[in-house]
Amino acid sequence: MSMQVLFGQLLVGLINGSFYALLALGFAIIFGLLGIINVAQGTFYMIGAFSAWMLLNYAGIGYWPALVLSPLITALIGMAVERALISRIYKLDHIYGLLLTYGLMMFIMGTFIFFYATAGRPYPVPADLLGGYNLGFMFLPKYRAWVVVVSIALCVATWFVIEKTPVGRNLRAATENPMLTRAFGINVPALLTFGFGLGVALAGLAGVLAGPIYTVSPLMGGELVIVVFAIVVVGGMQSIFGAVVTGLSFGVLEGLTKVVYPKGSNLVIFIVMFIVLLVKPAGLFGQEK
């Protein structure tokens, strides 16, 4: 086992872990605030990637503006969906929320397949991020380093917004006690819409980052959300820290397994989840009510 291979796979693992972390973070925010399992989280990841592709191919708008525009577009679509569909079922058992977002995922995926078929479309690495660094024990492509750095920066920024700003304070209050928070004059329904938009924007951003690495296709993100499920079951949904750390760890774990026992790399995450469930049913960081 050469150093190159090991670190190469670790990098891939870190990148996947970054995407897992971003998706899990958005997912946890949505679940905490709305109580909804957003099965369509992977679909919004796809929407983020596709909108970047569309911006480039239809409007000539490149990667750097897309980094801002695509998450925005994703957020707008998400907020529209929350207002039109999801908000209608808050009063019901939350299992219906899961089923609704599953239906949403299928419908959106199907619509994209209808217009764009399933083949992957390439999205170029931005010129500024071509090439890489030779570190001796491995070659580090600039773009991939960028992805990891941006993802972690986004997670930190999200943490900052939630923990240190008035909006974040309102979000936390609405998560803990929505009715009382309304009694303090805060428009919680609007906050829920915003929260959903924020949660899916994180997924959309991950999609833009993923574009140049994986091809852009309507099938993107379908299997990703199942990993997100495993992450929140293991890491607990109570803390941003838990979601992000578990997401990154799972990515790295996958990467390592690919080196040691490639056939097991798909399975290792779920095996870990299985073991955690046996040993610590409430998850590693969480306390479930």
Partner 1 sequence: MTTSAPAQTDVSATRSRVPQYVMYGVGLAVLLAAPFFVYPLFLAKVLCYCLFACAFNLLLGSVGLLSFGHAAFFGSAAYVAGHALKEWGLPFELAALIGTGAAGLLGFVFGYVSIRRQGLYFAMITLALAQMVYFLAFQLPFTHAEDGLTAIPRGKVLGLFDLNDLYVLYYTTAAVFVAGYILISRITNSTFGQILKAIRENQPRMISLGYRVNTYKLVAFVLSAALAGLAGATKTMVVQLASTVDVHWATSGDVILMALLGGVGTLFGPVVGAGIVEMLQFYLADSGLPIQMVIGAIFIVCILVFRRGIVGELQRLRGG
Partner 2 sequence: MADAPSLALRDLQAFYGDSHVLHGVSLDVSAGEVVTIIGRNGAGKTTTLRSIMGMVERRTGSIMVAGQEVIAAAPEKIARLGVGYVPEERGIYATLDVTENLMLPRRLNHRGMSLEAIYKLFPNLYERRHSQGTRLSGGEQQMLAVARVLRTGASLFLLDEPTEGLAPVIVQQIGAAIELMKSEGHTILLVEQNFRFAKKIADRHYVMERGRIIDMAPRADIERRDAQIQQYLGI
Alpha-carbon span 235 to 245, nearest angstrom: 8
Reference 148, options 11, 31, 277; nearest CA is 11
Q: How many residues does the chain have?
A: 289
What is the closest distance, in whole angstroms, from the C-beta atom of residue 85 to partner 1 in the complex? 7
Decide if residue 9 touches partner 2 (CB under 8 A). Answer: no
Alpha-carbon span 214 to 72, nearest angstrom: 21
One-letter amino acid for residue 241 of the chain = F
The binding track of 69-98 with respect to partner 1, each residue x by CB under 8 A or -, is: ----------------x--xx--xxxxx-x
CA angle, 87 then 90 then 96, to 5°:
105
Give 89-110 as a DSSP string.
GTTS-THHHHHHHHHHHHHHHH
Q: Which stretch binds partner 1 (CB under 8 A): 16-24, 172-180, 249-257, 276-284?
A: 276-284
Interacting positions 209-238 with partner 2 (CB under 8 A) = none
Of 98 and 167, nearer to partner 2 (C-beta) is 167
Of 60 and 166, nearer to partner 2 (C-beta) is 166
What is the closest distance, in whole angstroms, from the C-beta atom of residue 86 to partner 1 in the complex? 10
184 makes contact, choosing from partner 2, partner 1, none, with CB < 5 to 8 Å by partner type, with partner 2
With a CB cutoff of 8 Å and minimum separation 6, the contacts of 159 are: 240, 241
Q: What are phi and psi of 208, to 5 degrees?
A: -65, -45
Decide if residue 105 touches partner 1 (CB under 8 A). Answer: yes
What is the closest distance, in whole angstroms, from the C-beta atom of residue 242 to partner 2 in the complex? 14
With a CB cutoff of 8 Å and minimum separation 6, the contacts of 49 are: 70, 123, 207, 208, 210, 211, 216, 220
The binding track of 172-191 with respect to partner 2, each residue x by CB under 8 A or -, is: xx-xxx-xxxxxxxxxx---
What is the closest distance, in whole angstroms, from the C-beta atom of residue 96 to partner 2 in the complex? 19
Structure tokens at 45: 């990841």
Q: Which residues bind partner 2 (CB under 8 A)?
A: 166, 169-170, 172-173, 175-177, 179-188
Q: Which residues bind partner 1 (CB under 8 A)?
A: 37, 85, 88-89, 92-96, 98-100, 102-111, 113-114, 223, 226, 229-230, 232-233, 263, 266-267, 270-271, 273-274, 277-278, 281, 288
